[in-house]
A and B are shown apart, each in its own frame.
Chain A
């Protein structure tokens, strides 16, 4: 392995890892699972030769499949761990108990809204949030580009209907 290869990989990692992990955390509600899947996707990336413009959709597609497989195998445990985490992983501790309560409630609302979507709708919506084109979303979902618009329209309607306008932050 050359130093150039390692540097190139590090650059790819720096560019794509944070958004990939964010997407996976949103998709699963489980930061640990997101971290593991993102890392595994990059491990697999090393075993492939991809053109630069193919790396990002490939990473998201592989990582999506990884968390989907993991969730199916460990459905019960995943669900339980997510519920625990919603209360525990709040990041920087807010200043007041009220803020804690509000953060937990907000995160729970978003989670519920996302869980109300079908897996395909959820994946499509969250990949769209990351700026993917419909064609790339379709490839990740194994569906047609034209059906992505339908999935997205449905997902937007459902999720926005459950969430309503966000409250102003203090």
Chain B
């Protein structure tokens, strides 16, 4: 071990990364070399390692016995939901529904958009919005887009992520039924009261949907890939529109 007098120490974050063997070979070698020559960092690594073992020991010792899950039950439930959605997709198209959605989007007061957009950009750092009404399939060059138009009791949802990874959840009061209505005119119940999956599940990318929520919306949570974003009910003014364009 060497002296530490003139040496910049590694941060705790770096030391945890060192402990967890994170980073590429060069990064690991750099940290290893530093820890070998720095008494203080070496001591800190030992402490973090000891603390990690302590926590693991406590967790293991106090784990509660848990019931075995049921693969057949999950299988049956998982197969039931897409079947319902498939029925909805194969029903006859209702042109009026699409037209109504388009009118709703175009008629949304533009003045109401800016505060919401500013909020979105400020709070969750989204990419610059297009400013165009979200009524058609997203362009291939911008695949990770979720667009929805909140209005009292009705959401028109446009999912434009073809490869999955997107979902949208509507917070609502318990016991009330939310219904997903596809552009085809069919209906499918919301998969669960916790979340509505819109990509690869009950809904398909590049289509318009109305999500009819009979209760006042408390919050909208949008999940794109691993990002979870929340928009509180207060920001969802009736007739306003939010475009989320997420960089990937």
Contact = CB atoms under 8 A, between A and B. Distances in A.
Contacts of A1: 79
Contact of B78 (A25, A47, A169): A47
A87 B228 CA distance: 34
Given A17-B69, A139-B226, A159-B55, A47 B63 contact: no
B227 interface: yes
Contact of B62 (A70, A110, A129, A147): A110
B86 to A, nearest CB: 11
Nearest to A74: B174
B62 A107 contact: yes
A142 B55 contact: no
Contact of B71 (A13, A34, A35, A169): A13
A39 B74 contact: yes
Interface in B85-116: none
B66 A34 contact: yes
Interface string A132-152: 011000111110011111101
B13 A35 contact: no
B40 to A, nearest CB: 15
Interface string A151-167: 01110110110011110
B171 A73 contact: yes
18 contacts: A9-B71, A9-B75, A18-B66, A26-B63, A39-B74, A42-B78, A44-B78, A46-B75, A49-B164, A61-B226, A66-B195, A69-B171, A109-B58, A110-B62, A133-B22, A160-B50, A160-B52, A160-B54
Interface of A: 1, 6, 9-10, 13-14, 17-18, 21-22, 25-26, 31, 34-35, 38-40, 42-49, 61, 65-66, 69-70, 73, 89-92, 103, 106-107, 109-110, 113, 125-126, 128-129, 133-134, 138-142, 145-150, 152-154, 156-157, 159-160, 163-166, 169
Contacts of A110: 58-59, 62
A157 B13 CA distance: 12
Contacts of B61: 106, 166, 169
Interface of B: 11-17, 20, 22, 48, 50-52, 54-59, 61-67, 69-71, 73-75, 77-79, 81-82, 164, 169, 171, 174, 191-192, 194-195, 197, 200-202, 221, 223, 225-228
Contacts of B201: 44, 47-48
A86 B104 CA distance: 50
B106 to A, nearest CB: 32
Contact of B169 (A35, A69, A154): A69
Given A1-B79, A61-B226, A66-B195, A14 B14 contact: no
Given A44-B197, A153-B12, 14 more contacts: A13-B69, A25-B64, A31-B66, A39-B70, A43-B81, A44-B201, A45-B78, A47-B82, A48-B201, A89-B65, A90-B64, A125-B55, A147-B13, A159-B55
